[in-house]
Amino acid sequence: MKGEKAPVEADTGVDPLVMRTNVLYCLDCGKCTGTCPVTAVKPGFSPRRLVEMTLMAKPEEIATNNYIWDCLTCGKCSNYCPTDVRFSDYIKGLRARALEQGGFSVMNHGGITYSIARAMAKGDLKQKRLEWVGGAKVTVAEKGDVLLFTGCMVYFDLIFEPLHIDGAMTVLGNAVSIMNRAGIVPAVMADEVCCGHDELWSGEEGTFAKLMEKNIQAIKRTGAKKIVTVCPECASTIKKYYKEMGGLEIEVVHISQFIDDLLKGGKIKLRLAKGKVTFQDPCRLAQHMEEVDAPRNVIAAVNPGGLVEMRDSKELASCCGTALWRNCDSFSEGMRGDRLRQAKETGADLVITACPKCQIHFSCTLSGKCEEKGIDPNLKVKDLVTYVAENME
């Protein structure tokens, strides 16, 4: 996303949220609406109209405005904004205000992911989150230079059991086995808690602050100099917000960037794979972290010439359609359907993602009625880490 340097906050009497996110500079040009993946499927949603609607709105009007919960906060609009309006950040602030005013939005899966995060934030829990290490037969340590931030995968295993996704043992186990092959023994934390990404972007700032506090202390105990995450959401949260709000000064990379570096250094030897594959850019990696090359380099190393791009790719790629376990509805299902149809058009039979949540969402759509929506039910969805590990010598 643009806007790395924070704008000057002068005491002008203007709402600090508006000042911070440059919303007053909106030209009403409509480039955001033209690029917004939600507008494409949901009539009535438009970022620039939403800005107009909320700029002068009373707090209670913001609480009852449903549109602020429809935004995926993917950040695609900010990449095209000529005046650098940070719309996602603006929405984040609005949601916090809406919650204060008793705003309400339906959570998916009965709100279980939020309940887990709140339980982690509240209590001093002795979690059993390293069970996958034994099953995957890999070597990890308690302390080390490289830290693998495992994220919520261990809980998704339980929640999404019926979808038969690649779980913690596969994704995390493969990530560690790649590292082990390169001679790195990563540290993993038994007292890690959720990174707080979902809470931050849905406006539960109190919960996020508690989670961040716990994580920063745990990270400091490991003595790590580099954090590697399997989930782009964790990566972008720790990289940007832990630094801004918690003062954590450690290099953070997503696993695709890490593997890219390993491959460039010649530390892993690969067996070349065949077949056509396509890549789904996760919004937090492509838009928030502006990383589109690393995963492509990795795929090109595994399968030279096998990567075919979808119609919308790289910065233009649309999100998988659901963020924060909140906005899942017929429109986001439409976005996923569109994405999977694009994947089929390329002629690929494997969609590679770099985000566990994308994998879950696509698997969910593919397990439903595909024929009516024109989706090929034989498409396979696989995580980038698994793809590399399967083709490792």
Partner 1 sequence: MTKKVTVWHEAPKALQGKVGGNGMEVALKEVPVQPIGMRAFVTFVIPDYCSDCIYCEGTCANLKFNKERKIMIVNQVGCRGCGQCISSCPTGALQQRNTYLGKIDEDFTHLLGKEPAAVPQSCNMCPVVSGEMPDQGNGPNSVRLLCSGRYEASLALEALTKGCKGVVVVGCLFKDFPFERNKVATEDKLRFSKLLMMRLGIDPDKVQHVNKYVTEGGVRECIQRLSGA
Residues that bind partner 1 (CB under 8 A): 64, 66, 102, 104, 106-112, 114-116, 118-120, 122-123, 125-129, 131, 154-155, 158-159, 328-330, 332-333, 364, 368-369
Give least dist CB 4 to partner 1, A: 35
Q: Which is nearer to partner 1, 103 or 144 (CB)?
A: 103
Nearer to partner 1, 295 or 356 (CB): 356
- Return the number of the residue (128 or 164) whose C-beta is nearest partner 1: 128
What distance in Å separates the CA atoms of residue 193 and residue 195, rounded to the nearest whole number? 6
Q: CA dihedral defined by 177, 127, 119, 362, rounded to 10 degrees? A: 30
For partner 1, the closer of residues 344 and 373 by Cβ is 373
Q: How far is the CB of 373 from partner 1 (least distance, A)?
A: 9
Structure tokens at 380: 């396979």
CA distance 166 to 381: 9
In the bound state with partner 1, the residue whose beta carbon lies nearer, of 80 and 160, is: 160
Q: How far is the CB of 128 from partner 1 (least distance, A)?
A: 5
Q: Please say which residue, 161 or 345, places its beta carbon nearer to partner 1.
A: 161
What is the Cα–Cα distance from 351 to 342, expressed in whole angstroms?
11
Minimum CB distance to partner 1 smaller for 126 or for 269: 126
Q: How far is the CB of 70 from partner 1 (least distance, A)?
A: 9
CB of 331 to partner 1, least distance (A): 8
Of 14 and 158, the one with the shorter C-beta distance to partner 1 is 158
- Whose Cβ is closer to partner 1: residue 291's or residue 333's? 333
With beta carbons less than 8 A apart as the criterion, state whether 125 and 156 touch.
no
Least CB distance to partner 1 at residue 362 (A): 13
Cβ(348)–Cβ(308) under 8 Å? yes
When the beta carbons of 368 and 374 are compared against partner 1, the nearer one is 368
Least distance (Å) between residue 228 CB and partner 1? 22
Query: Whole-number minimum distance, CB 65 to partner 1, in Å?
Result: 9
Three-state secondary structure of the chain: CCCCCCCCCCCCCCCHHHHHCCHHHCCCCCHHHHHCHHHHHCCCCCHHHHHHHHHCCCHHHHHCCHHHHCCCCCCHHHHHCCCCCCHHHHHHHHHHHHHHCCCCCCCHHHHHHHHHHHHHHHCCCCCCCCHHHHHHCCCCECCCCEEEECCCHHHHHHHCHHHCCCCHHHHHHHHHHHHHHCCCCCECCCCCCCCCHHHHHCCCHHHHHHHHHHHHHHHHHHCCCEEEECCHHHHHHHHHHHHHHHCCCCEEEEHHHHHHHHHHCCCCCECCCCCCEEEECCHHHHHHCCCCHHHHHHHHHHCCCCECCCCCCHHHCCCCCCCCCCCCCHHHHHHHHHHHHHHHHCCCCEEEECCHHHHHHHHHHHCCCCHHHCCCCCCEEEEHHHHHHHCEC
CB of 298 to partner 1, least distance (A): 31
Sheet holding 146-149, edge to edge: 146-149, 226-229, 251-254
Rounded to the nearest whole angstrom, what is the least distance from the CB of residue 66 to partner 1 in the complex? 7
